[in-house]
Amino acid sequence: MEKDKQVHMLMISVMSLLCRVVPLSVVILCCSGVVLETAAFSMGWFLPFKRTCASSMAKAQKEAVCGVLQHLDGFVAYSVQLRGSINGRVSDLLKMSRELAASAPGTEDERVRFSNFNKTVEDVNVLSKGLSSKAYEDEQYIADAKESIERYACENADGEAYKSSNPLECTYGKGESTVEGMVEALKIYKSSRAPGSWTFAWELHHIIKKMEILNKTAAQVFAACDSAASAAQNVRNAGKVRDVKMMTACHLGKQFSELGAFFQALEDISKHILSTASELGERAKSLEESEEIRSESQAAYESATEAGQEVAKVLSELYASVAAVGKDMLSNAGPSMGEIKNEFSRCARKGTEEDSVTLVTAVDKILSEYSDIKAWRREVEEVWEKSVTELQTLLTQCAGMGDEMCKSSLVTFGNLMEDIGGTVQHIEILLISALETISAAEKAINAASRDV
């Protein structure tokens, strides 16, 4: 009896202990499960699926999940190919750098170009290394994800793989191997509520983001590679660019010399018209009986004076504009500014030689036949346009080889030519008006003189 009592008391003690221990054990087991699942997440496993037993998934659901596998394979293949392609581009750039260094750039301009190229290559190298490292990590992540899907979704109880039936056949063609195509297909699948789509929704979203970032970064790297290749070509073109820039500077010097001669001719015409008007005024004073003639000669003098003042003003403004453009072009010549400036000055001093002779001849004709403005204007325009076209051709050739001075000068010179054209047309109108007034006064004075 006493023994039964002891056994009974022991059972009560054990039960009491279990009542306290069992809940704690449940908590520990639950926490352990959370820790295990967290660890599984850090390994890239698919937890939403791991919470679903493979045996409880329908065959159609498993087959639908298998349809995603080909896209994961496509991502990995793309990433591997991308790394190889970028590594190849970087290798080519490094080879270019060694070849250009071996050629020992001589001029300061060439050294600056080579330094810029090397800096670009260094930037590309850093970018490509970061992308390759990230791409490799993504490949491992996707490989782990694919293995997890295959293990838990694509095998039956006997370990036999289910035949994949791709639910995306209508939206994802076999020929679409671009990242954009694969990403779009997975987005459609993820939002389609197709069997299995809910199971891997978060993981697919995560992979899509990875591949979109990778694709965007790759585009930046390829753009940087293109920029570096262009910089390498600029280094190779340095000698050619220097020759063209020297030719451009010489032609520009001649052009400014010719422009100066042309403007001077217009100013001389203006002064000559004023002098003619003044002479007519003196002749009109001698005709005492004709107030009308004196009035006409005074109007001619005033018109010539106004035209002369306006011509002097607009030419002064245009001279300042031309000088500013020339200074801007030379200041942007870069390391070779000194020799280009000397070439400009040398050719400007030859203003009346070689190509300038033709324009100077035309200017002489202006002075000898100043009253027929429209006639000599056509000849001057032909000579001027030929000279302008030649200079623009040189600047275009130089700009086409990547030279920044030539690029900016091409635009600046074009704007200057428009300004000059507008100014000359304005001067022409002023001079023609003054000449017409003088011509009318001269006819009246000549007629009155014959009557005297």
Span 54-113, pLDDT tens digits: 445 555 555 555 656 666 777 787 788 888 888 888 888 888 888 777 765 666 667 777
Nearest CA among 195, 255, 226 for reference residue 385: 255
Q: Which residue ranges form the domains of the chain, and what is each CATH number?
A: 52-234 (1.20.1260.80), 237-451 (1.20.1260)
| End-to-end Cα separation, the chain, in angstroms | 175
Is 81 in contact with 210 (CB distance < 8 Å)?
A: no
Across the range 19-45, mean pLDDT stands at 35
Is 281 in contact with 442 (CB distance < 8 Å)?
A: no
Q: Quote the CA–CA distance of 312 and 290 in Å, as a whole number.
A: 33
> In this predicted structure, what is the pLDDT of residue 127?
82
Is 167 in contact with 69 (CB distance < 8 Å)?
A: no
For residue 50, pLDDT beyond 60? no
> In this predicted structure, what is the pLDDT of residue 18?
42
For residue 354, pLDDT beyond 80? no
Helix (H, G, I), strand (E, B) or coil at 401: coil
If you average pLDDT over every residue of the chain, what do you get? 67
Across the range 308-319, mean pLDDT stands at 74
For residue 150, pLDDT beyond 60? yes
> In this predicted structure, what is the pLDDT of residue 174?
39
446 CA to centre of own chain: 68
| Residue 40: φ, ψ to 5° | -65, -40
> In this predicted structure, what is the pLDDT of residue 360?
57
Helices 201-285, 179-190: inter-axial angle, 10-degree rounding: 130
User: How many other C-beta atoms are found inside a 10 Å radius of the C-beta of residue 184?
Assistant: 16
> In this predicted structure, what is the pLDDT of residue 27?
33
pTM of the model: 0.42
Q: Looking at per-residue confidence, does 132 or 238 come out higher?
A: 132
pLDDT tens by residue, 227-255? 888 878 777 776 676 777 777 777 777 77
Tokens of 48: 């939403």
Q: Quote the CA–CA distance of 420 and 325 in Å, as a whole number.
A: 12
Highest mean predicted confidence (pLDDT) among 56-65, 135-144, 329-338, 379-388: 135-144
- Outline where DSSP puts E strands in 311-428: none
For residue 220, pLDDT beyond 80? yes
